[in-house]
């Protein structure tokens, strides 16, 4: 089973509490399981229902209640969390945490956090409250306890005063969360090659043979591998996606161009071949537009085979990557066809999905896949393509951790 990180988010009161909803979205998009504690003052600004809808988990509010499994909330919530985030943190909650007071669920669980679990607190309050010596003393106390203080920012506040006290933006704290949870970048020093999107095989100067691949899965995998520390080259067919940051993007059109780009960028440690490469190309591409003739069908197109890029990479004895992952999109018998493909092409893993039209997977934003290797099959339930990418990256990290131990 591939596991995601578990984040416990405490939402305290204040006008900035609404930003917690955006942070929950980002946490989920970054493949993290989010459980939320909403303080009484926080519930004056956002509702438990909105948090539950976005987090897909129960919202906790009551210190004296038990879970459905009869567990004490402030104990079990802190034990399963990889990280505790308070966003926003009021002056009151900061003071209680610094002094060790525990009179509600949020303050009690902050006192019950194991010393090995990191805590990030993001203050939000009026500038005078922030600059008050008492608050600053509490902040220094928290820092001495190795609690990370994120912000606050400087600017105009809801009270129309200016200064430090604004809650930092969700994207800013998301970066800090990632650095806290993934400090080592486990794929640092590894090189990865990812292919994505369709290929277009020209018929004449304005027509082509193509498919519905959007490239989203390949782009998401490239970004996920980069976040894990890998140096990534992304070879992309024609897509309508923004260029990813800090990734070597090579744009191609045809299968032959994609093959050439792949071999030019070897050797690599990891090859993830998600591109939907056309199996055939036109043997004799017309140099001019094929004109429509009255009452006459166009000429018969003579076809030729395209190179099998996955097989070429997997069977490359000179510069074969340590891990070669192929993708298979099938409309029937997808598990059998994928296993046959893995064996025939001699790749290590095949990631297969069922792309019948009613699944909306081909070209869509979600995916449901099965990872097939020589050791068996692992099904990943339907999820966003970014989440699928993260789970695949975790499996890649485990692969290299295992061979390094060996």
* Catalytic machinery residues: 159
Residue 171 Cα distances to 85, 177, 242, angstroms: 14, 10, 18
Q: Which residues pair with 250 in a beta bridge?
A: 235
Query: What is the distance between the alpha carbons of residues 224 and 159, in angstroms, rounded to a whole number?
Result: 40
Angle made by CA atoms 172, 117, 120, in degrees to the nearest 5: 25
Residue 88 Cα distances to 10, 16, 107, angstroms: 8, 7, 14
Torsions phi, psi for 50 (to 5 deg): -65, -40
Q: Which residues pair with 303 in a beta bridge?
A: 282
Query: What is the distance between the alpha carbons of residues 18 and 11, in angstroms, rounded to a whole number?
Result: 9
Residue 45 Cα distances to 17, 35, 40, 105, 145, angstroms: 6, 18, 10, 18, 30
Query: What is the distance between the alpha carbons of residues 284 and 225, in angstroms, rounded to a whole number?
Result: 39
171's enclosing H/E stretch is helix 170-181
């Amino acid at each position: 089973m591939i596991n995601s990180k578990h984040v416990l988010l405490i939402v305290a009161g204040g006008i900035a509490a609404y930003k917690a909803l955006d942070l929950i979205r980002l946490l989920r998009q970054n493949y993290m399981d989010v459980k939320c504690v909403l303080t009484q003052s926080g519930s004056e600004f956002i509702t438990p229902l909105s948090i539950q809808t976005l987090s897909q988990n129960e919202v906790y509010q009551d210190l004296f209640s038990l879970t459905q499994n009869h567990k004490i909330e402030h104990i079990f919530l802190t034990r399963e969390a990889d990280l505790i985030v308070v966003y926003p943190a009021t002056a009151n909650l900061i003071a209680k945490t610094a002094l060790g007071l525990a009179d509600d669920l949020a303050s009690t669980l902050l006192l019950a956090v194991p010393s090995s679990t990191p805590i990030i607190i993001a203050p939000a309050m009026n500038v005078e409250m922030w600059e008050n010596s008492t608050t600053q003393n509490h902040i220094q106390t928290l820092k001495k306890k190795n609690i990370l203080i994120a912000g606050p920012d400087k600017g105009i506040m809801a009270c129309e005063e200016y200064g430090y006290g604004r809650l930092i933006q969700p994207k800013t704290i998301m970066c800090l969360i990632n650095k806290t949870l993934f400090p080592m970048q486990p794929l640092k020093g590894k090189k990865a090659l990812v292919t994505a999107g369709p290929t277009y095989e020209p018929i004449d100067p304005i027509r082509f043979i193509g498919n519905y691949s959007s490239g989203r899965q390949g782009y998401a995998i490239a970004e996920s591998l980069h976040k894990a520390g890998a140096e990534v080259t992304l070879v992309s067919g024609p897509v309508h996606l923004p260029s990813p940051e800090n990734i070597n993007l090579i744009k191609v059109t045809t299968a032959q161009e994609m093959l050439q780009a792949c071999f030019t960028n070897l050797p690599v440690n990891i090859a993830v071949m998600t591109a939907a490469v056309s199996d055939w190309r036109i043997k004799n591409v017309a140099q001019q537009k094929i004109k429509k003739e009255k009452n006459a069908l166009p000429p018969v197109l003579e076809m030729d085979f395209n190179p099998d890029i996955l097989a070429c990479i997997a069977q490359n004895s000179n510069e074969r990557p340590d891990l070669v992952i192929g993708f298979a999109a099938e409309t029937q018998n997808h598990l059998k066809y994928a296993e046959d493909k893995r064996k025939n092409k001699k790749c290590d893993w095949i990631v297969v999905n069922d792309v019948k039209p009613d699944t909306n997977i081909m070209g869509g934003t979600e995916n449901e896949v099965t990872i097939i290797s020589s050791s068996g099959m692992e099904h990943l339930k339907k999820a966003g393509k970014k989440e699928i990418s993260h789970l695949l990256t975790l499996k890649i990290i485990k692969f290299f951790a295992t061979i390094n131990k060996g």
